[in-house]
């Protein structure tokens, strides 16, 4: 048997054409599509050709795979190598195909037994030294591998925790290519991977610093999922209130936590893959972000801040500073809880069941209506400022809260840890959870009050006749749109749920109407 200076068996390489396959997956939106990596060794000048619509990152895998094989102690390819990513019509991107290409190449060159790859799915980036580096979208790939009856899924150590979230799927990992091959050959034991589960226990958090109408608005948003708009001068506590809302939300359900983890995995946020199992997301994009960054998009669409906040809170500070065209694209996702993206070659959807919290100043200078600072803006400037926010968008914000700056005495009380302020019973997490449970048991399909249809309100709302009479007068006096009127009833239903009452009374409708400051503010700023 003749060997060349690279250790390659000439007779084995050139005498028999060797074909090997390894299974992997490509991302399309939030879904993973099965991909078969085929490697064929044929006589010819040394080189590697990749076909099957690979992107630039996959084209560069040729050099990564060569160096990883050589530095891991394996023989490199000195023949013509053809790599096909099937199906050929599906566009592939990212470095996740490095590992399946390398393993298939080892099988094709006779350095790894062919049965070792039977039923095995692989994904991972290779370093030049053969190390396995994490890639995005592993959780979606793991779901697809389990669906197709995979024997095991091989991923880098940085992706092992999220892949292990899929019950019933065997996950294999190794720090580098050499140890992985030894594990597959049976000369080294497989690493044990701990499986984590979402916890139903509430997180230990700091006390909620909210009182009065602001605290009740947070409770309504947490219990009923209502979107919240806060209007007030600089320093009145809008951002502080927004950051406290996730603490009041009910614990994550296991299915909900998996969806959040999958979104973050596809987006490439892998700093802590287990964080979605512990707490609800809170996203606060800058007002200069583009539509693709906020909603999602790109050549191969990725989720934006809207979907990354799924199941949690999306906080838009300085709402009036966002581009109006960007804000108006939020209308449909806020109504349906999903963002549908259509492109010429791809149609996909991203979950967007969020609680939107928005904050804005009442005018460009920020001091309109403040008792201590005079407003420097003219009436026309204030009107132009509020024209950045369309009426249909404001209609979708159920709770509209006007805030004022706190007095020095109130601020001093917050600084004293020994001061125990009386907190509204609504702000107790157990009361919010109980209210959420009541509405999901009563409402059709178990939806929260924010998503309750007009027919559902009429059938399951349990409104008293006097409450509906008051509601009719409010709609007529304030000239509310049909959407705003329906949302007013939804908030009133949540008020009744937090008060643990079966029927919606006049008081509940009256309190719900107090959270409609934008209707009155737009009339005020015109004067």
DSSP 174: -
pLDDT of 5: 35
**CA-CA distance, 197 to 261, in Å (whole number)?**
12
Count other C-beta atoms under 10 Å from residue 503's C-beta.
12
Q: Is the peptide bond before 209 cis (omega within 30 degrees of 0)?
A: no
Tokens describing residue 443: 């409402």
Q: pLDDT tens digits, the chain, 527 residues: what are they?
A: 333 433 344 334 433 447 899 999 999 989 999 999 999 998 888 889 999 999 888 999 999 999 999 999 998 878 899 999 999 999 899 999 999 999 999 999 999 999 999 999 999 999 999 999 999 999 999 999 999 999 999 999 999 988 998 999 999 999 999 999 999 999 999 988 877 665 555 555 566 777 788 899 999 999 999 999 999 898 888 999 999 999 999 888 888 988 999 999 999 886 666 676 678 999 999 999 999 999 998 888 899 999 999 999 999 999 999 999 999 999 999 999 999 988 777 788 999 999 999 999 988 998 887 777 888 888 888 888 888 898 899 989 999 998 887 766 666 666 665 554 456 788 888 899 999 999 999 999 889 999 999 899 988 889 999 999 999 999 998 888 899 999 999 999 999 999 999 999 999 999 999 998 766 565 555 55
pLDDT of 268: 87
**CA-CA distance, 142 to 171, in Å (whole number)?**
9
| Beta pairing class for 152-154 and 120-122 | parallel
CATH classification for the domain delimited by 10-185, as one of 3.40.710.10, 3.40.1280.10, 3.30.230.10, 3.40.50.720: 3.30.230.10
CB 6 within 8 A of CB 75: yes
DSSP 76: P
Count other C-beta atoms under 10 Å from residue 371's C-beta.
8
Tokens describing residue 209: 């610093």
Q: Dihedral of the CA atoms 128, 133, 136, 141 (nearest 10)?
A: 100
Count other C-beta atoms under 10 Å from residue 257's C-beta.
22
| Beta pairing class for 228-231 and 171-172 | unpaired
DSSP string, 262-291: HHHHHHT--S-TTGGGTS--EE---TT--H
> Phi and psi at residue 43, in whole multiples of 5°?
-60, 140
Q: Is the peptide bond before 87 cis (omega within 30 degrees of 0)?
A: yes
Look at residues 122, 173, 168, 171 and name the one whose alpha carbon lies nearest to residue 149: 168
Find all residues with CB under 8 Å of 430, minimum gap 6, and list them.
none
DSSP 411: H
Tokens describing residue 460: 């399951």
First to last CA, the chain: 96
- From residue 182, how far is each of 66, 74, 116, 158, 177 by CA, in Å? 19, 12, 11, 20, 9
Look at residues 414, 359, 319, 356 and name the one whose alpha carbon lies nearest to residue 238: 359
Grouping H, G, I as helix, E, B as strand and the rest as coil, residue 155 is coil
Place of tokens 């919606």: 504
**CA-CA distance, 415 to 33, in Å (whole number)?**
54
CATH classification for the domain delimited by 212-428, as one of 2.60.40.10, 3.40.50.300, 3.30.1310.10, 2.40.37.20: 3.40.50.300
Whole-model pTM over 0.85? yes
pLDDT of 7: 38
CB 304 within 8 A of CB 295: yes
Look at residues 503, 510, 513 and name the one whose alpha carbon lies nearest to residue 457: 503
**CA-CA distance, 383 to 18, in Å (whole number)?**
73
Beta bridge partners of 40: 19, 82
Torsion sign, CA atoms 128, 130, 131, 136: positive
Asked if the domains 10-185 and 212-428 are classified in one and the same CATH topology, the answer is: no
Classify residue 445 as left (phi > 0), alpha (psi -120 to 50) or beta. Answer: left
Domain ranges of the chain: 10-185, 212-428
Find all residues with CB under 8 Å of 280, minimum gap 6, and list them.
246, 249, 252, 260, 311, 312, 313
> Phi and psi at residue 339, in whole multiples of 5°?
-110, 115
**CA-CA distance, 158 to 160, in Å (whole number)?**
6
Beta bridge partners of 360: 231
**CA-CA distance, 216 to 183, in Å (whole number)?**
58
Tokens describing residue 299: 């050549």
**CA-CA distance, 80 to 10, in Å (whole number)?**
13
Question: In 326-477, at which residue ranges do the beta strands (DSSP E only) sit?
Answer: 338-342, 347-351, 355-360, 399-402
Place of tokens 């509209």: 400
């Amino acid at each position: 048997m003749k060997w060349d200076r690279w250790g390659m068996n000439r007779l084995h390489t050139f005498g028999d054409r060797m074909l090997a396959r390894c299974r992997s997956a490509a991302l399309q939106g939030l879904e993973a599509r099965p991909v078969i990596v085929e490697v064929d060794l044929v006589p010819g000048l040394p080189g590697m050709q990749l076909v099957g619509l690979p992107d630039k990152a996959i084209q560069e895998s040729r050099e990564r795979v060569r160096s990883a094989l050589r530095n891991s102690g394996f023989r490199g390819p000195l023949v013509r190598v053809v790599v096909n990513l099937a199906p050929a019509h599906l566009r592939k991107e990212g470095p996740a195909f490095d590992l399946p290409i390398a393993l298939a190449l080892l099988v094709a060159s006779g350095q790894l037994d062919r049965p070792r790859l039977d039923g095995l799915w692989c994904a991972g980036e290779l370093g030049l030294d053969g190390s396995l580096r994490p890639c995005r979208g592993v959780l979606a790939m793991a779901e697809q591998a389990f669906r197709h009856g995979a024997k095991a899924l091989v991923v880098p150590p940085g992706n092992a925790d999220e892949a292990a979230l899929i019950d019933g799927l065997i996950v294999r990992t190794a720090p580098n290519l050499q140890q992985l091959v030894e594990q597959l050959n049976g000369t080294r034991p497989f690493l044990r991977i701990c499986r984590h589960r979402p916890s139903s226990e509430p997180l230990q958090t700091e006390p909620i610093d909210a009182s009065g109408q602001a605290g009740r608005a947070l409770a309504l948003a947490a219990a009923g999922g209502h979107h919240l708009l806060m209007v007030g001068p600089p320093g009145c506590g809008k951002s502080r209130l927004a950051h406290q809302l996730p603490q009041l939300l009910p614990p994550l359900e296991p299915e909900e936590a998996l969806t959040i983890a999958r979104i973050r995995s596809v987006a490439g946020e892998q700093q802590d893959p287990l964080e979605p199992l512990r707490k609800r997301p809170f996203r606060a994009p800058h007002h200069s972000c583009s539509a693709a960054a906020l909603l999602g998009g790109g050549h191969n669409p990725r989720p934006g801040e809207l979907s990354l906040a799924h199941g949690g809170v999306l906080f838009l500070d300085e709402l009036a500073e966002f581009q109006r065209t960007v804000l108006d694209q939020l209308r449909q996702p806020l109504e349906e809880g999903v963002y549908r993206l259509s492109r010429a070659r791809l149609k996909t959807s991203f979950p967007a069941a969020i609680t939107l919290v928005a904050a804005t100043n009442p005018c460009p200078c920020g001091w309109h209506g403040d008792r201590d600072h005079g407003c420097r803006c003219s009436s026309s400037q204030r009107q132009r400022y509020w024209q950045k926010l369309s009426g249909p968008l404001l209609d979708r914000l159920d709770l509209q809260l006007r805030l004022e700056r706190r007095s020095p005495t109130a601020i001093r009380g917050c600084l004293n840890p020994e001061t125990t302020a009386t907190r509204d019973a609504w702000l107790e997490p157990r009361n919010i959870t109980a209210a959420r449970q009541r509405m999901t048991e009563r409402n059709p399909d178990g939806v929260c009050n924010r998503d309750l249809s007009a027919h559902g309100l009429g059938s399951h709302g349990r409104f008293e006749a006097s409450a509906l009479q008051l509601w009719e007068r409010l709609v007529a006096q304030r000239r509310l749109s049909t959407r705003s009127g329906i949302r007013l009833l939804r908030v009133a239903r949540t008020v009744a749920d937090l008060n643990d009452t079966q029927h919606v009374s006049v008081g509940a409708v009256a309190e719900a109407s107090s959270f409609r400051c934008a209707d009155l503010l737009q009339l005020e700023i015109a004067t």
